[in-house]
Amino acid sequence: MAEIRLERVRKTFGRVVAVRDVDLTVADGEFLVLLGPSGCGKTTTLRCIAGLERVDTGRIFIGGRDVTELPPARRDIAMVFQSYAVFPHMTVAQNIGFGLRMRRIPKHEIQAAVQEAAKLLQIDNLLDRYPAHLSGGQRQRVAVARAIVMKPEVLLMDEPLSNLDALLRLQMRAELKRLHREIGATTVYVTHDQVEALSLGDRIAVMREGAIVQLDHPNTVYDWPATTFVASFIGTPPMNLLRATVNTSGDDLALAIGDFTMPVSPAWKPSLRAMVGKRVVVGIRAENISVHADATPGSLPATVLVSEPLGAQQLLTVQVGEDMLKVVTAPEPPFQAGQTVGLTLATEKLRLFDEESGKALSIGANLSTQGGEHR
Amino acid sequence: MTFPRLQRRILLCMAAVVIALWVLMPLILIALAAFTPRLELYRWPKPIIPSTFSTGTMSFFLHSHGVLPSLRNSVVVALLTLGMTLVVGAPAGYAVVRYRFRGREAFRLGILMTRMFPTSLLAIPLIVKFIHWGLYDTLIGVALMHTAIALPFAVIITSGVFSGVPKELEEAAMTLGCSRLGAFVRVALPLALPGLAAAAMFTFVISWNEVFAAAILTVRNRTLPAHVLVSLEGAPLDFRFAGAFFMIIPAVIFMALARRYLFQMWGGAIAER
C-alpha cells in the first residue's frame, strides 16, 4: 500500500519558485503523469518525492509514512533518470543488482532477481556487457530493470523516453504500460510530451509555473481543459482558440465571432447570462469542425491557408478573421490553399473560457469535472 | 589577413615544430650529457652524441655527498605533500562542483588568486613562523609549504575530474539505497580514480621540482632540488648534467602517463564554462 501524498510542497531555487505549494495525492498503484513545458516544476516535484531535493515547506507522505526528512535510500522508491544514469564501470548485471547488493541480499537471490528483471525487459542476453557497448534503447532498459528489480512501492520516472528515437519511443511506451500493469507499483511519470501523457496516465497533472493547473483523467483533460493553457498544450494539433463576444439575439444568447453569429447550447446559458457584452475564448478541437467546399448558409466562412495530406486524414490550416484554426478532415476531397470554405463547429464540443483569466467557464449540467482546481 | 588553408597548415606545423624543439632540445642535450663518459664531457670540441654510453656520470652523481639522503628527503616530502593535498584538495574539488553554496564563485577565483601571490614575499615571515612552531628544517614543514603550493592545482584538477562524473549517477545510487557518502565511494570515486591518479602524480611532481621553499626552509634536511641548487656552484659539469637529468625524469614520466587525462579534464573544464 503506497499512496503518495504531497501537502503544500514548496521548493525554491534562489528567487525562483520551482514548486508552488503543490497538493497532490497519487493513489496506490496509480500511474500519474506530471505534464508540462520545460521549467514548469514537474521534474523538481518528482525529485522532491524521490528525496533528491529538500522541500522548503510542506510534507511528503509515502504509504502514510512522513518521508519529508528521509534520504532517498529510506523512502522505498526507485527512479529512472532521463539520462538513464547507468553506472559505466559496472556490467549490466552489476547495474541491475546494485540496489539489491546495497540491501545485503544473498548473492544467489540477487542473481535470480537480476535474471528475472532482465528477462522482463528482454536484455537477459546482455548481462555481461558494459554500458559503453549498449545502444541508447538498451541502456534505457537497463535503467528500468535496475529500478523494478527493487520491487519498489513507488516508481518514479523522469522523462525516460525523451532520449530515444521516435520509433523506439513508441515501442517503449507500450512496454512501460505493460510493465506497470505487471508490477503494479505506484508510478509518477514526468514528461513534456502530451501524447505520452495521454497514452500512459491513469491521471494527468498538468503543471505550469510550479503549480498544478489541472489534475484529471486523460480524456477529461483532453476534452475539458481547465484553462486555455491546457487547451493549447494538449492534443496534436492543440485545441483551436477563437475570440468571441457574448451577444443577445432577441431573447436568446449568442456568440459573435467577427460578423458570424452562432447560437449557444442551453448548457452554457447559466454561466454566460452574466457575461453579455463581454469577450470569451471559444475552444474547439480540430476533429470537431467539419469543412464544406462552399460557404453554406449558417457556416463560418474561412480561407484555407495550408493543406497537409497526412494519409488517413488531411490537416488544414484555415483563417477565420484574425484567428488561425487547425481542422482535421477526411483526405477526400482535397482542399487547395486559397480556397474559401465553410466551417461547421460541433456545438456540443465547444468549450468556453474567460478571456481575462483563461479559466474554463463552468457548464450548467454536471457534464464536466470542474477544472481549475485540484485535489 | 587571411591565409589559404594549406599555408595556414604549414605555418601551424612550423610553429609546432619550433615550440617542440624549444622544449625538447634542452631535455635531449641534458639526457645525452648525463650518459656521456666523464672525460668526454670536458673534451673540446665536445661531441653531441657520446661515443660510448656510460652510466658513470649518473653513478658519480648518485654517490656524491648528500645526494642519497636528499633523494630520500625528496621522496618523503613529495609523498607527504601528495597525501595532504589529496585529502584536502579532492573533497574541495568535489564540493566546488557538486554543491551550491554562498560564495562558490568567489571561492573558485580565490583558489586562482593564491597563485598570484609571490612566494618570495612570504619567505621571511614564513621562516620566522616555522622557527617559532618548530617546523623549520623539518620535512613535514617543507611538505606543508608544498601542500600550500600544490593545493590550488589539486582543487582545480579534481573539480575538473568530478565534473566529468554526472551528478545523476550518484543520485541514482542514492535512490538505490546508498547514503550520500556511499554513493560517492561506490560510484563517483571509482569513476574519478584515473583522473585523481593524474592529480596525484601532478602533485608529486610539483613537490619534487619545488626548489625555492625547500631551499629556504631547510638547512640540513634538504630535498634533492635544494641540495642540487646549493651544491651547484662548486660542482663539476657532470654533476650538474646528471642532477638535472635526475630532476627531469619524474616530470617526463608523469606527462607520458597523465597526458590523456590532463587533456580530457582541462578540455572538459573549459567546455563546461
In the predicted structure, residue A375 carries a pLDDT above the cut 60: no
Q: Are residues B222 and B100 in the same domain?
A: yes
Q: Nearest Cβ partner of B179 from A71, A143, A150? A: A71
Is residue A362 domain-resident?
no
Output the pLDDT for position A193. 92
User: Which ipTM did the prediction report?
Assistant: 0.83
| Chain A residues in contact with B195 (beta carbon < 8 A) | none
Q: Nearest Cβ partner of A150 from B169, B171, B176? A: B176
pLDDT tens for A309-343 read 998 899 999 998 888 999 999 988 888 888 889 99
Look-up: residue for cell 617559532? B132
Q: Are residues B55 and B79 in the same domain?
A: no
Residue range(s) defining the domain that contains residue A52: 4-226
Q: Are residues A295 and A214 in the same domain?
A: no
pLDDT tens for B85-115 read 999 999 999 999 988 888 888 888 888 888 7
| Cβ within 8 Å, pair A79-B180 | no
Chain B residue with Cα closest to A83: B168
Residue A85 C-alpha, separation from nearest chain B C-alpha, in angstroms = 5
**Confidence (pTM):** 0.81
| Chain B residues in contact with A53 (beta carbon < 8 A) | none
Number of domains in chain B: 2
In the predicted structure, residue A284 carries a pLDDT above the cut 90: yes
Residue A171 C-alpha, separation from nearest chain B C-alpha, in angstroms = 24
| Cβ within 8 Å, pair A85-B190 | no
Number of domains in chain A: 2
Q: Are residues A124 and A38 in the same domain?
A: yes
Q: What would the DSSP string read from start to end of B2-52? A: ---HHHHHHHHHHHHHHHHHHHHHHHHHHHHHHTS-HHHHHSSSPPSS-SS
For chain B, the C-alpha Rg in angstroms (whole number) is 23
Is some CB atom of chain A closer than 8 A to the CB atom of B185?
Answer: no
Is residue A364 domain-resident?
no
Is some CB atom of chain A closer than 8 A to the CB atom of B171?
Answer: yes
CB pairs under 8 A between A and B: 59
CATH number at residue A344: 2.40.50.140
Residue B79, classed as helix, strand or coil, is helix
Is some CB atom of chain A closer than 8 A to the CB atom of B104?
Answer: no
Of the listed ranges A72-76, A213-217, B96-100, the one predicted with least confidence: B96-100
How confident is residue A369, by pLDDT bands cut at 50, 70 and 90?
very low
Nearest CA-CA partner of B94 in B168, B2, B160 = B160
Look-up: residue for cell 513545458? A37
Q: Are residues B125 and B219 in the same domain?
A: yes
Output the pLDDT for position B44. 72
Is some CB atom of chain A closer than 8 A to the CB atom of B110?
Answer: no
| Cβ within 8 Å, pair B177-A79 | no
Is some CB atom of chain A closer than 8 A to the CB atom of B193?
Answer: no
| Cβ within 8 Å, pair B191-A88 | yes
In the predicted structure, residue B241 carries a pLDDT above the cut 90: no
Is residue A369 domain-resident?
no
| Cβ within 8 Å, pair B174-A146 | no
Q: Are residues A110 and A149 in the same domain?
A: yes
| Cβ within 8 Å, pair A77-B175 | yes
| Cβ within 8 Å, pair A73-B175 | yes
**Bond before B50 cis per omega within 30 degrees:** no
| Chain A residues in contact with B187 (beta carbon < 8 A) | 87, 89
Backbone dihedral region of A321: left (phi > 0), alpha (psi from -120 to 50 degrees) or beta?
Answer: left
**Which one of A48, A49, A98 would you mutate to disrupt binding with B, by most B Cβ within 10 Å of its Cβ?**
A98
Q: Are residues B55 and B76 in the same domain?
A: no
Mean pLDDT throughout B33-48?
A: 78
Is residue A322 domain-resident?
yes
Comparing B238 with A49, the larger pLDDT belongs to: A49
Nearest CA-CA partner of B47 in B60, B59, B57, B37 = B37
CATH number at residue A181: 3.40.50.300
Q: Are residues A219 and A203 in the same domain?
A: yes
Output the pLDDT for position B262. 62
**Which one of B98, B167, B174, B175 would you mutate to disrupt binding with A, by most A Cβ within 10 Å of its Cβ?**
B175
CATH number at residue B214: 1.10.3720.10
Cβ neighbours of residue A296 closer than 8 Å, sequence gap 6 or more? A342
Q: Are residues B42 and B82 in the same domain?
A: no
Residue range(s) defining the domain that contains residue B140: 67-272
Q: Are residues B93 and B51 in the same domain?
A: no
Chain A residue with Cα closest to B102: A14
Chain B residue with Cα closest to A13: B100
Cβ neighbours of residue A48 closer than 8 Å, sequence gap 6 or more? A6, A9, A11, A19, A55, A60
> Long-range contacts made by residues A293-299, C-beta under 8 angstroms, separation at least 24?
A293/A333, A293/A335, A293/A339, A293/A341, A294/A341, A294/A342, A295/A340, A295/A341, A295/A342, A296/A342, A298/A344, A299/A342, A299/A343, A299/A344
Q: Are residues B74 and B54 in the same domain?
A: no
Mean pLDDT throughout B122-146?
A: 92
Output the pLDDT for position A257. 85
CB B195 within 8 A of CB B261: yes
| Chain A residues in contact with B169 (beta carbon < 8 A) | 85, 87-88
Is some CB atom of chain A closer than 8 A to the CB atom of B140?
Answer: no
Nearest CA-CA partner of A361 in A273, A239, A242 = A273
Greatest mean pLDDT among A126-140, A359-373, B118-132 lies in A126-140
Q: Are residues A106 and A144 in the same domain?
A: yes
| Cβ within 8 Å, pair B178-A146 | no
Output the pLDDT for position B1. 54
- Full strand arrangement of the beta sheet holding A252-257: A260-263, A252-257, A240-249, A279-284, A351-354
Three-state SS annotation for A80-122: ECCCCCCCCCCCHHHHHHHHHHHCCCCHHHHHHHHHHHHHHCC
Alpha carbon A201 to its chain centroid, in Å, reads: 8
